[in-house]
Chains A and B, each alone.
Chain A
Amino acid sequence: GQQLNQSPQSMFIQEGEDVSMNCTSSSIFNTWLWYKQDPGEGPVLLIALYKAGELTSNGRLTAQFGITRKDSFLNISASIPSDVGIYFCAGPPFAGGTSYGKLTFGQGTILTVHP
């Protein structure tokens, strides 16, 4: 099935550093979603992108919907310890005018922030 290539798989950074992660796909996406998952909990939606080229911020987080509609990135500025977790990109592949509402997920980026 359709897969998203998410990178990097893991990151170890110092508190205060900026973080960047991205997702790419061989198919066009209508929507790009970024989630964060804390250990033992369900993923929480961070940012949703609906238009090619769209740049959206949520506090220290910024995400962009790539112009080609085949990629997206998420940046976190001035990281803090509570940013630790797994970050997932996701989206519904575009298929013949509908996207069925079923999401394809990236494999996740595990972020570790050292105080």
Chain B
Amino acid sequence: SQTIHQWPATLVQPVGSPLSLECTVEGTSNPNLYWYRQAAGRGLQLLFYSVGIGQISSEVPQNLSASRPQDRQFILSSKKLLLSDSGFYLCACQPGLSGNTIYFGEGSWLTVV
């Protein structure tokens, strides 16, 4: 079965600083990968999804970007963080043969101060 690793688990960053959250997946090949954000413990908002290396689709306009340099690596970035970027970020994976089932990583808490 697949395993999803996210890091860092917790991050406190000043406004205007850059961001890099990393996600790696083990146990599957050619997965679909996703970044979600969750605010206030409710509601999961899809930010980006990727169906393959270098293929990124953005769901909402925002201050963030995503990249997929390798099949099982997904990175969420920002050049200059805003206060509104604070939240709980979740990487998710849809394994190649799982149908529509998506599995989540442990999450990364970002606080922008």
Contacts and interface: CB of A to CB of B under 8 A. Distances in A.
Interface residues of A, number: 26
Contacts of B59: 102
Interface residues of B, number: 26
Interface stretch (A16-24, A58-66, A68-76, A103-111): A103-111
A26 to B, nearest CB: 18
Contacts of B101: 31, 33, 45, 48
B55 to A, nearest CB: 13
A104 B41 CA distance: 16
B32 interface: yes
Nearest to A48: B101
Contacts of A96: none
Given A42-B105, A102-B46, A103-B100, 18 more contacts: A31-B100, A31-B101, A33-B100, A33-B101, A40-B107, A42-B90, A43-B44, A48-B101, A86-B41, A88-B44, A92-B100, A101-B32, A101-B94, A103-B46, A105-B44, A107-B42, A107-B43, A110-B42
27 contacts: A30-B100, A33-B100, A33-B101, A40-B107, A41-B106, A42-B90, A42-B106, A42-B107, A43-B44, A43-B104, A44-B104, A45-B101, A48-B101, A50-B99, A88-B44, A90-B102, A91-B100, A101-B51, A101-B94, A101-B100, A102-B46, A102-B49, A102-B59, A105-B44, A108-B42, A108-B43, A110-B41
